[in-house]
């Protein structure tokens, strides 16, 4: 008759490809017998299984989860490097938007972003690092431009004479 402990041991062994033997079998050369109640011990190989691959304890490998290590007890620990930016967490290599700027997490908590001047609907237009209100005019070369809406301007199209 199988005891709960022995069934549990065989179940775990089947999952992790371990080898179960009774304590009597380990010390007395007798294998497990289903008729006698016994205490089981499981002998598991010191490896981890992940995505169809086998890894030794202490072995490190890369996965979509980040840098992973096989630890004793068939546990896999993964270290995911992230960047913190404005209260949000991003994975290394991940790109995201900050207003109208494109940003990316470079690692070591370094975030790189483009440095565009971002305009809101009530800001107006931007030219030469200066913001103009809707209705305001400015010179672009020899042409006059009038700011009409968010970053939209109407300019004259006169040919400019070079000096």
User: What is the percentage of the chain residues whose pLDDT exceeds 70?
Assistant: 67
pTM strictly above 0.75: no
Report pLDDT for 99: 82
Higher-confidence residue: 116 or 120? 116
The residue-averaged pLDDT of 92-121 equals 86
- pLDDT of 120 reads 61
Assess whether pLDDT exceeds 50 at residue 17. no
Residue 105 has which token pair?
């997490």
Output phi, psi for 74, to 5 deg. Answer: 65, 25
Max CA pair span of the chain: 107
pLDDT number for residue 5? 35
pLDDT, residue 13, reads 38
For the segment 34-90, what is each residue's pLDDT rounded down to a tens digit? Answer: 455 555 555 567 888 888 899 999 999 988 777 889 988 778 888 878 889 999 989
Query: Can you give the pLDDT at residue 30?
Result: 42
Mean pLDDT, the chain, as a whole number?
Answer: 74
Q: Give the C-alpha separation, 152 to 105, whole Å.
A: 32
Distance between CA atoms of residues 40 and 36, nearest Å: 12
Sequence ranges of the domains in the chain = 47-80, 82-113, 125-155
Residue 9 CA, chain-centre distance (Å), reads 36
């Amino acid at each position: 008759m199988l005891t709960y402990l022995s069934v549990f041991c065989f179940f775990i062994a089947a999952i992790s490809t371990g080898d179960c033997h009774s304590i009597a079998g380990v010390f007395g050369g007798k294998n497990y017998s289903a008729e006698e109640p016994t205490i089981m011990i499981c002998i598991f190989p010191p490896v981890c299984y992940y995505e169809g691959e086998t890894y030794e304890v202490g072995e490190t490998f890369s996965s979509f989860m980040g840098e992973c290590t096989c630890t004793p007890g068939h546990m896999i620990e993964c270290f995911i490097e992230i960047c913190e930016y404005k209260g949000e967490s991003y994975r290394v290599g991940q790109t995201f938007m900050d207003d109208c700027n494109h940003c990316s997490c470079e690692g070591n908590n370094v975030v790189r972003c483009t440095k565009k001047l971002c305009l809101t609907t009530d800001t107006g237009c931007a030219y030469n690092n200066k913001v103009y209100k809707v209705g305001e005019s400015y010179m672009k070369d020899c042409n006059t431009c009038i700011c009409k809406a968010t970053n939209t301007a109407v300019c004259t199209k006169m040919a400019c004479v070079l000096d």
